[in-house]
Structure formats: structure tokens, C-alpha cells
A = this chain, B = another copy of it.
């Protein structure tokens, strides 16, 4: 086993000297959320890049449970930071453009006030007398620091895991101070399973014979075994099952020879022993207890109603990212937050990044190309200047990014007709929005709010680059995240023929939109009829029907008449029907079921 297996995640870092750290001291007492106060607070933090003249380019990065202020190296000679891959000149959080700020959290053990700090009332370390702190308290201390730096509004707050909880704290309760929130691999509250792991870890520390009520700062033995056990357990939950199989499957019985008193019969055992022992060297057990408890108490609600209430006051833009193999902060929890934001008409983009790396994915290079580019594109579009620049840069590359269901190249005739059918400035939900071409047209015409739904990760990135809001979802799972009548208009453009659960999708569309626009290729078009009737073969044609019967993404074949029957049977009102002969580029009025190859319907319930 090579060293890099042992060092491939943030969590494996040893303690590093914080040579570039700065210190801010706040001498006023800090009232705590749950009860009590701290007589004063010291904050250790690091900064990268330059604050611009109007102080509008500050990005706050919130670290996770075991992180610290050293998010990145300050120069090539500096010790590595925990997110070097994402933070630096020219990187996705570009320190040539943004002023990056990363403070050590309240309750931590890397300089900011925590249980290892001296309690002025007793003259000895707080230990277990350190009051119970919350994510809200952590955020409040960060706000003191941001104010002292003269920043009235952050461009963005970014955090993953417990850092994501802090980002959520900012954006739900202090969103006037934040333009954009980026919540990565996080949750509105821990799952009961994740909470249970924390409980087991804390019990290992609290019941360690050397814990001594938390007063182990006397140079005597410390609760090293308990803390190491908690850390080992944490490690298992940060990795996915696939990632562990890859790391430890083949060489199961070949442990690395590490100096440890823990079991090292198996390769995974030697890894855990190493991680546990290393962690004890750099982290304080009381901080672990305080911060894991703050995380466990964090709770934006466990029902859609409570979540909606938590997000109601938010006024910032959102980017929510999860990872498919993250089982500690599972994607469904990110979706719960996205749904709550959508229910409140908040601007949000969401992507569940396909990854095998588990919860640690956001700290690893494997998927950086995807989450990093989404973060970078979202940041670029948070200020108007950036948005314009991004537009210009991306217009070229979008030229070739038409949806694969397009009939018309280079121009989507149906888009033009759909746009004409919409009331001026109507709000629009575009289902299967692709890379956002139609939404871009609508944005330029002043429609708002606009939201896209898309499944393909690359197309989501294209939308975010265009400054559009887009959430990843599978239409076949319905539109339960949207409220009745939430949009003036819901569009399903040339996607119906690929939908599995047609009744459900249409029923949800007419529920969510006051008007719905549905376009689809007409299987009753005479050329298609001829192919089956005269040639005895499954019809094919250019455009969306250019596939073979055996490899087509299209699974529903319907005629204009079929759709009219369907609307009648379902009790939907048809307001408009536009039938097109796209070869002739003309609308068809006579016998459209035979003569049109594309139909656009405007319906409602």
C-alpha cells in the first residue's frame, strides 16, 4: 500500500503550522444561542487574494468538522491546505478575482476560542465547562469577523459538510449579507443514522478512562483511544463502499506496517489505525465533542413545511451540490432543501454529481472537473459584470450544444413559436431544458422567474454558465417539488416522446402551471404512416425520430389526434394548437394530423 492511500483525503492531514494566520479579538461578551455567553472571543483566520475597492468580492469558506483556517497554501513553499485543489489563482475559487476568507470555527482547536482555551473565570481550560455551542453561534462569530474586515455583503459563502451547515446558517438567517450561497454535500439536519454514528463516537471519548471529565490538559494522559475510535468511525462514514473496496479490497490481508497499538491485521485496519493516531496528534477531544454536538443540534426542519419556513427569509441565490455515493449526507437531503427553496420561489440551481468517492468527494480531485466548474460558473454569475463576461465566453461553445431531441438545425423553429405563445414576462418552468437555449431566449425577453429542469450534468453546467437557474431531476419522478400554480407557464418541448410516466408528468404540469406548452413529433405525419403502411417497417425520419426501433430514446409514439383524445379523456382544456410542417417551415391548418410533423399544444386543467 502506498502512502497516498493514507493521505488521499483531507482528513489525513497532519497538523500544519499556520504561518499566515491572522488573529482578531472581540472583547465584548458573546451571547450564545442556547444559553450563556462567552466573555470574549478570539478568531484565527487566513485570507487569500485582495479585497476590491467596493468590497464586493469577498468569498467566505467554512470548514468542516476537522478542518481549520488553512484552506489553501499561500505560496508554493507553504504547507498544503485542505482545499488546495479548489482555492488559488486561476482555480475555481479564483484568488486572482476573489478575496477568500477562511476562519477557524468557534469551538475548534486551531486558534479560535474553544474548549481548550482558558476560561478567564477559572484560569484553566474550559474543558467540559465550555458552553454548548451551535452552528448559529459559529456563524455569529464569523459575522463579527466579516464586519471587522469592513465587508457589508459577502459575494458568496461556501461550505461542505458541517461547513455547509454554516453556509445554510448564513443564507437562511443573514441572507442580506450574502449574494450567493453554495451548499456542498450537506443537509438540513443529520440523518438519524449519521447522528447515531456521532453518538457512538462521542461515547467512545466520554467513556475513555483518560477523559477525566474533560480536564486532561495537565500533561497527563489524554483520551487518545476514544478520540481515535471516533475518528476511525468518522473515516468509514466519509468514504463510499465502492471507494473502500477499491482501496482495501485486493490487499485485504496485507496491512501497512504502522506503529500503533490498534489492531492492524487487515489493510483497512492499518489505515484506520494510522488515521486515528494521527488525528489525536492534531485535534482536541473536547473540540470534537463540541463541534459534533453543534452539528447534531443543527436542524432546519424534518418536514417540507418546517423546511420552507427555515428558507422563507432567504434573499440570495443558491447552488446546492450533492454526490451520488455520499451516504452520510445523502443526496435526498440536498433535494429536500432544494424543494423547500423552490416552494418559496428562491433562485436555486442543483446538481447531484455522479461520484464514487462518498462524502469526501468534495475534497478530492476525482470529481473536481464537475463540482469545481459548477462552483466557478455560479460564482462568475453572482455579479453583473461576471455574468456578462461569462455569457460572451460561452456563446460560442453553446452553438453546438443543442438538445439531441432537436429537429431543427441550426434554428429551433418550435422555440420561436413557443416564445410567441407565452404571455409577456410570464414566469416559466422548462422541463428538459437542455443547455438552456429556450430559457436564454426567454430571459432576453424579460421573462421571470425562470427555472429549468434537466437530468444531464453537462447541460446543467451549461445552464449555470449562462447564469440560469436549473435543478437536476428526473421528470418521471413527478413534479412534487412544485406548488399548485407556481408558474405562469410550464413547457415540455419535444420531450414527451421520451417520458415513461406520461399521465403523471402531464397531471403535474397542469397542476404547477396555469398554462402548459407541450410540443412533440407527430407520429401521424403522412411520411411516417407511409413507412409502416407501404414499407412495413417502423417509421424513421430526420430529427427526433431518426433512431432505429431498437436504440431510440423515444418510447412513446403518438399522433396529434391521440394527444387530443388524451386531453379530452383527462379533462384538460386545449387553448391553442399549432401544427407545423417543419420541412416547409410553415404552419399547417388543413388535416394537421396527416400533414404536420410537429405539434405544439397549449393546455390547462
Please report A residues at the B interface, Cβ cutoff 8 Å: 191-193, 195-197, 199-200, 202-204, 206-207, 209, 225, 228-229, 232-233, 235-236, 239, 241, 244-245, 247-250, 252, 261-263, 265-266, 268-269, 272-273, 276, 293, 296, 299, 302, 327, 330, 502-503, 523-524, 528-530, 532-533, 535-538, 548-551, 555-562, 565-566, 593-594
Interchain CB contact under 8 A, B207 and A262? yes
Interchain CB contact under 8 A, B250 and A330? no
Interchain CB contact under 8 A, A241 and B559? no
**Apart from A195-B252, A196-B244, A233-B233, 11 more pairs, CB < 8 Å:** A206-B263, A207-B229, A207-B262, A241-B327, A241-B330, A252-B299, A327-B327, A524-B532, A532-B533, A536-B559, A538-B557
Interchain CB contact under 8 A, B555 and A268? no
Interchain CB contact under 8 A, A532 and B523? yes
Take A199-B268, A209-B209, A529-B532 as given contacts and tell me if A241 and B551 are in contact as well, using a CB distance cutoff of 8 Å.
no
Report B-chain residues with C-beta under 8 Å of the C-beta of A503: 550-551
Count this chain's copies in the assembly: 2
Q: Would you give the shortest CB distance from A380 to chain B, in whole angstroms?
A: 36
Interchain CB contact under 8 A, B533 and A245? no
Report B-chain residues with C-beta under 8 Å of the C-beta of A566: 548, 550
Report B-chain residues with C-beta under 8 Å of the C-beta of A565: 537
A68 to B529: give the CA distance in the assembly, Å: 70
A254 to B266: give the CA distance in the assembly, Å: 39
Take A555-B555, A561-B536 as given contacts and tell me if A263 and B192 are in contact as well, using a CB distance cutoff of 8 Å.
no
A400 to B273: give the CA distance in the assembly, Å: 60
**Can you report 28 A-B residue pairs in the complex whose CB atoms are below 8 A from each other?**
A191-B245, A192-B252, A195-B268, A196-B235, A199-B263, A199-B272, A200-B229, A200-B233, A207-B261, A207-B262, A233-B233, A241-B330, A250-B302, A252-B299, A503-B550, A523-B532, A529-B533, A529-B536, A532-B532, A533-B533, A535-B561, A536-B559, A536-B594, A538-B557, A538-B562, A549-B562, A550-B566, A557-B557
Interchain CB contact under 8 A, A562 and B537? yes
Chain B CB within 10 A, most for which of A192, A193, A524, A556: A192
Per CB-CB distance, the 3 closest pairs between chain A and chain B, nearest first, are A555-B555, A502-B550, A192-B244
Report B-chain residues with C-beta under 8 Å of the C-beta of A249: 192, 302
A549 is contacted by which of B263, B265, B530, B556 (Cβ under 8 Å)? B556
Interchain CB contact under 8 A, B244 and A193? yes
Interchain CB contact under 8 A, A200 and B296? no
Interchain CB contact under 8 A, A269 and B199? yes
Chain B CB within 10 A, most for which of A199, A268, A558: A199
Interchain CB contact under 8 A, B538 and A549? no
A266 is contacted by which of B195, B250, B536, B551 (Cβ under 8 Å)? B195
Report B-chain residues with C-beta under 8 Å of the C-beta of A263: 199, 202-203, 206
A204 to B273: give the CA distance in the assembly, Å: 12
Report B-chain residues with C-beta under 8 Å of the C-beta of A241: 191-193, 327, 330
Report B-chain residues with C-beta under 8 Å of the C-beta of A538: 523, 557-559, 562
Take A502-B551, A536-B593, A549-B557 as given contacts and tell me if A200 and B266 are in contact as well, using a CB distance cutoff of 8 Å.
no
Interchain CB contact under 8 A, A266 and B296? yes
Take A199-B232, A209-B209, A233-B233 as given contacts and tell me if A248 and B550 are in contact as well, using a CB distance cutoff of 8 Å.
no
Q: Would you give the shortest CB distance from A188 to chain B, in whole angstroms?
A: 12
The chain B residue sitting closest to A506, CB to CB, is B550
Report B-chain residues with C-beta under 8 Å of the C-beta of A268: 192, 195-196, 199
Interchain CB contact under 8 A, A196 and B272? yes
Report B-chain residues with C-beta under 8 Å of the C-beta of A330: 241
Interchain CB contact under 8 A, B550 and A524? no
The chain B residue sitting closest to A551, CB to CB, is B503
Interchain CB contact under 8 A, A524 and B551? no
Take A524-B537, A538-B557, A555-B555 as given contacts and tell me if A229 and B204 are in contact as well, using a CB distance cutoff of 8 Å.
yes
Report B-chain residues with C-beta under 8 Å of the C-beta of A200: 229, 232-233, 236, 272
Report B-chain residues with C-beta under 8 Å of the C-beta of A191: 241, 244-245
Interchain CB contact under 8 A, A266 and B559? no
Interchain CB contact under 8 A, B561 and A537? yes
Q: Would you give the shortest CB distance from A306 to chain B, in whole angstroms?
A: 12
Q: Would you give the shortest CB distance from A223 to chain B, in whole angstroms?
A: 11
A203 is contacted by which of B229, B537, B550, B593 (Cβ under 8 Å)? B229
A549 to B559: give the CA distance in the assembly, Å: 10
Report B-chain residues with C-beta under 8 Å of the C-beta of A265: 293
Report B-chain residues with C-beta under 8 Å of the C-beta of A193: 236, 239, 241, 244-245
Q: Would you give the shortest CB distance from A218 to chain B, in whole angstroms?
A: 18
A273 to B200: give the CA distance in the assembly, Å: 9
Q: Would you give the shortest CB distance from A413 to chain B, in whole angstroms?
A: 23
The chain B residue sitting closest to A502, CB to CB, is B550
Interchain CB contact under 8 A, B229 and A229? yes
A419 to B229: give the CA distance in the assembly, Å: 62
Q: Would you give the shortest CB distance from A533 to chain B, in whole angstroms?
A: 4
